[in-house]
Amino acid sequence: MKSLNVSGNRRKLLTGAAAIGTGSALVLALDACSTDTGGAAASETASAAAEVPDLKDLETAEEIWDALLEGNQRWAAGESAHPDADVETRQELVEGQAPRAAVFTCVDSRVAPELVFDTGVGDIMVTRTAANTFDPLVSESVSYGPAALEAPLLVVLGHQKCGAVTAAHDALAAADAGEEAEEAEDHGYHLPEIVEALTPAYEAAKEESGDPVDAMIAANVALTVQALKEHPNLAELVADGELTVVGAVYSLETGVVTEIEV
């Protein structure tokens, strides 16, 4: 495998206004829109946010994980509340942070944990690498939230259609067959170290049924969970029941996060 194909779409924001008669009529129309539509939307948003449990008030890993999954359900249904995204919360956090969970996930732009779990500023500490692969430096970043800031929950989040996992799988499968991996696109981006890091997941997923890339994604999550449980900064916390490490996979198609057995 020599390169990873990365593609994306750019969105254009089209704005415009049509004249609707006299200037006074335009003012009245805008005022009505602000009063009826904007006011109702703001009220609905405030109401939704008021019903969302504050992660900062939750103590146990189980409570926090349940709250994150509830937030994910809001996200998947298009009903995100965007809690704790106000100026007051931002200013309160200037003096320090106390995130209730750490999330280790992929760099993929479609997988933003703060949005996926519908959380606010200061709620979760996120570390991201391609295919959530890690080395000693990355693992220290991941463990900082639980070890230094006493977050009782650590989530390893893989995701559907991961480009890095797909590229690694194709390269390793080609090597098994004695072939050279085909280039998806010649843009000079090489991933030899990521392929090496994902080799254990490839080997672990070989005997699994179903889509081989999906199996490799899940295997990588499971192996990462186990490695983090054994990390010097976290092993004692796990053994004492002060830290829970869970693995999950995010679906790009549905927006739903599903916990996997590890």
Which DSSP string corresponds to 199-239? HHHHHHHTT--S-HHHHHHHHHHHHHHHHHHTSTTTHHHHH
Q: Give the C-alpha separation, 65 to 123, whole Å.
A: 12
CATH 3.40.1050.10 is the classification of domain 25-260: yes
pLDDT value, residue 50 = 56
For the cut 90, the answer to whether the pLDDT of residue 49 exceeds it is: no
Residue 15 has pLDDT above 60, yes or no: no
Reported as a pLDDT band with limits 50, 70 and 90, residue 150 is: very high
H-assigned helices in the chain: 23-33, 39-50, 61-76, 87-92, 113-116, 136-149, 163-176, 192-205, 212-229, 235-239
Is 33 labelled as part of a ligand binding site? no
pLDDT: which is higher, 8 or 239:
239
Residue 108 counted as an annotated binding residue: yes
User: CB of 2 within 8 A of CB of 190?
Assistant: yes
- When pLDDT is cut at 50, 70 and 90, the band that residue 221 belongs to is very high
pLDDT above 50: residue 12: no
**Do the beta carbons of residue 216 and residue 222 sit within 8 Å?**
no
pLDDT of residue 136: 85
pLDDT of residue 253: 98
